[in-house]
């Protein structure tokens, strides 16, 4: 058995050479790396490779089984399409960041222990950050900061969970975690939170819809696939059959759709669609039957491809027109018909039209919700399918390529089709989407469990067709309501954008004022003690007289005299130190004290030791 090179390493080490190459050679090299990685993957045998001893533990960089291989295949194939899409980008940094991102994701996928997982998890977060920052706008740099803050928080949760887990079990192997309620499962909770942040499960999802739309045109395409889908992978490994996930997933699917309806930016709409699609996968992991897990994996794989295609389409529009807001778009069909049709293949796939990729995977998850008899989950997931078609298949293309603005200044967009490499990338991805839809055995054949599911049963096809066709009817009737207005929609990022700001304001203003006032009171107290001790007798006289003046005022018509005395005394203060005592008196007092002490000592013994 040959231990092949780790496919992640091909990307990570390969990325280092990118800045050295120039022009055509660089482009060839960029495309060659994913192909080499794919060949490497195809010839890889199953087993556990690349073990590395670290202290008393053993790091496992290569746990190769069917589950990790499947994700590996699709990540590498998708990275080829995305690299092709980004081929015209001149900045080496973007390519390097993207390749590190892909490589570290493959590292996560093949990680056999929790330390390795954590290592690549962090590299993934930081390398992807640069795909956002390279947009070089104020919005992108701020969104990038929020993005990395959330991911650092997620990473800390993961690390805390790993350490607790290590303490409880003494093992760093990455297998399914214990699940239950109680403090004993704290490590699992921490790890789950870390995973759920990356899977963008509400309410921990806002980093995605906040940052992805601000990423570069090509960077966003990379971002769609790796973070969220590798999170699904680790959920399948770690938490299969955890019932909580069913509900989180079902809510997530509908949540994403509702926000996508409100979205006013094309790429933000798609970002919410990623969240919504993730809901199916999370729910599938929660259901946990073989068919559901298979469905989750299949849906993750087809989602990687069609989501990339959709972002490529919206990105092409942004690249050519500089616009992604619905209020500024419309009527582009004249200029970009090819982009439109390629986008629509992605839209039909995400909506789950028969003969497109979403159909053969989404229905598996919905079907397994029916088998375990979860009517509410079924209705939510089916409802999210309606909404998905509504937003990604109807709203976005309608407002981008067709609807013209009657009101307001006419913004005439002079656009043309995007560069050839972008079109080619979209073509390849679109082909794959249709290929999986027409020939689902290609997808089912590589799933880890045997597939006993016929997507093209007459009942399924008819039900899905009815669902989508009548969704279109409803959309056409209400299409006027979907025109964007220049607004933003508040999401859970409000809590760290506004509540966070207010918290800092609270610390800086009221809290500091309070601290200041305590400070002042203490200082005054100290000052008054100092004043008092300068001349205690005079000070106590002044105090007594002050009280007397206040008390006597209502009764004594001659209180004015008191006041005058007081003024005088205050003026003299501290004045002469009081009552000097002759030194003999002092000595006498001391002697008396010693005598007293001697008597006590003789009668009672030592008073203190």
Residue 256: CB minimum distance to another protein, A: 11
Of 234 and 394, nearer to another protein (C-beta) is: 394
Distance CA 525, CA 517 (A): 12
| Whole-number Cα distances in Å, 542 to 539, 546, 570 | 5, 6, 7
> Is 195 in contact with 113 (CB distance < 8 Å)?
no
Distance CA 577, CA 535 (A): 6
Residue 133: CB minimum distance to another protein, A: 19
Of 371 and 522, nearer to another protein (C-beta) is: 371
Residue 249: CB minimum distance to another protein, A: 18
Of 231 and 482, nearer to another protein (C-beta) is: 482
Distance CA 281, CA 276 (A): 10
Of 472 and 601, nearer to another protein (C-beta) is: 472
Residue 498: CB minimum distance to another protein, A: 5
Q: How many CB atoms lie within 10 A of CB 448?
A: 16
Three-state secondary structure call for residue 123: helix
Of 112 and 249, nearer to another protein (C-beta) is: 249
Residue 471: CB minimum distance to another protein, A: 4
Of 439 and 494, nearer to another protein (C-beta) is: 494
Residue 409: CB minimum distance to another protein, A: 17
Residue 136: CB minimum distance to another protein, A: 19
Residue 394: CB minimum distance to another protein, A: 9
Residue 436: CB minimum distance to another protein, A: 23
Of 469 and 591, nearer to another protein (C-beta) is: 469
Residue 89: CB minimum distance to another protein, A: 29
Find all residues with CB under 8 Å of 101, minimum gap 6, and list them: 124, 127, 128, 131, 222, 226
Tokens of 203: 């309410």
- The residues binding another protein (CB under 8 A) are 257-259, 261-262, 370-371, 373, 375, 378, 382-383, 386-387, 390, 458-459, 462-475, 477-478, 481-482, 485-491, 497-498, 501
Q: How many CB atoms lie within 10 A of CB 68?
A: 23
Of 18 and 254, nearer to another protein (C-beta) is: 254
Find all residues with CB under 8 Å of 452, minimum gap 6, and list them: 291
- What beta strand segments (E) does 70-122 contain? none
Three-state secondary structure call for residue 62: strand
Of 73 and 341, nearer to another protein (C-beta) is: 341
Of 465 and 517, nearer to another protein (C-beta) is: 465
Three-state secondary structure call for residue 175: coil
Tokens of 471: 């969704």
Per-position b or e across 490-510, b if 16+ CB within 10 A of its CB: ebebeebbeeeeeeeeeeeee
DSSP 48: E
| Whole-number Cα distances in Å, 54 to 51, 57, 115, 116, 120 | 10, 5, 10, 11, 16
């Amino acid at each position: 058995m040959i231990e092949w090179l780790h496919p992640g390493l091909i990307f990570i080490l390969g990325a280092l050479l990118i800045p050295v190459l120039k022009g055509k050679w660089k482009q060839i090299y960029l495309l060659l790396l994913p192909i080499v990685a794919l060949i490497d993957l195809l010839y890889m045998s199953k087993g556990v490779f690349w073990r590395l001893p670290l202290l008393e533990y053993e790091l496992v960089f290569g746990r190769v089984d069917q589950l990790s291989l499947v994700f590996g295949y699709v990540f590498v194939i998708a990275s080829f399409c995305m690299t092709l899409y980004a081929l015209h980008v001149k900045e080496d940094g973007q390519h390097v960041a993207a390749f590190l991102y892909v490589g570290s994701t493959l590292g996560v996928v093949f990680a056999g222990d929790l330390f390795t997982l954590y290592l690549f998890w962090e590299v993934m977060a930081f390398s992807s950050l640069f795909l956002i920052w390279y947009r070089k706008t104020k919005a992108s740099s701020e969104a990038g900061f929020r993005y990395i803050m959330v991911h650092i928080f997620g990473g800390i949760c993961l690390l805390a969970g790993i350490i607790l887990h290590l303490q409880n079990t003494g093992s760093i192997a990455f297998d399914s975690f214990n699940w239950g309620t109680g403090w004993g499962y704290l490590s699992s909770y921490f790890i789950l939170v870390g995973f759920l942040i990356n899977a963008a499960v509400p309410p921990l999802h806002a980093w995605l819809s906040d940052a992805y739309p601000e990423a570069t045109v090509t960077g966003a395409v990379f971002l769609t696939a790796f973070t969220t889908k590798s999170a699904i992978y680790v959920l399948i490994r770690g938490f299969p059959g955890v019932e909580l996930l069913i509900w989180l997933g079902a809510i997530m699917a509908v949540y994403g759709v509702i926000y996508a309806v409100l979205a006013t930016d094309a790429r933000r709409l798609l970002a919410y669609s990623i969240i919504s699609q993730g809901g199916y996968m999370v729910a599938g992991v929660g259901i946990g039957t073989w068919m559901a897990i298979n469905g989750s994996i299949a849906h993750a794989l087809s989602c990687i491809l069609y989501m990339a295609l959709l972002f490529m389409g919206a990105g092409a529009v942004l690249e050519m027109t500089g616009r992604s807001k619905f209020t500024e778009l419309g009527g582009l069909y004249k200029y970009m018909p090819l982009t439109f049709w390629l986008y629509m293949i992605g839209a039909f796939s995400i909506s789950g039209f028969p003969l497109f990729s979403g159909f053969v995977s989404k229905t598996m998850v919905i079907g397994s919700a029916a088998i375990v008899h979860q009517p509410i989950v079924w209705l939510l997931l089916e409802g999210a399918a309606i909404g998905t078609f509504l937003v990604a298949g109807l709203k976005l293309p309608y407002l981008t390529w067709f609807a013209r603005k009657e009101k307001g200044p006419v913004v005439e967009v002079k656009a043309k089709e995007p560069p050839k490499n972008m079109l080619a990338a979209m073509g390849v991805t679109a082909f794959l989407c249709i290929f999986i839809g027409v020939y689902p055995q290609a997808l089912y054949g590589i799933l880890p469990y045997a597939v006993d599911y016929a997507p093209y049963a007459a009942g399924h096809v008819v039900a899905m067709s009815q669902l989508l066709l009548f969704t279109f009817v409803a959309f056409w009737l209400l299409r006027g309501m979907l025109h964007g207005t220049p607004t933003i929609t508040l999401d859970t990022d409000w809590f760290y954008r506004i509540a966070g700001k207010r918290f800092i304001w609270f610390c800086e203003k009221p809290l500091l004022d309070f601290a200041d006032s305590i400070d002042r009171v203490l200082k005054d107290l100290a000052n008054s003690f100092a004043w008092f001790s300068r001349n205690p007798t005079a000070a106590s006289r002044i105090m007594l007289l002050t009280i007397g003046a206040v008390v006597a005022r209502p009764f004594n018509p001659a209180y004015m005299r008191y006041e005058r005395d007081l003024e005088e005394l205050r003026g003299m203060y501290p004045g002469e130190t009081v009552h000097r005592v002759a030194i003999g008196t002092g000595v006498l007092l001391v002697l008396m004290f010693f005598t007293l002490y001697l008597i006590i000592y003789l009668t009672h013994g030592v008073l203190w030791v």
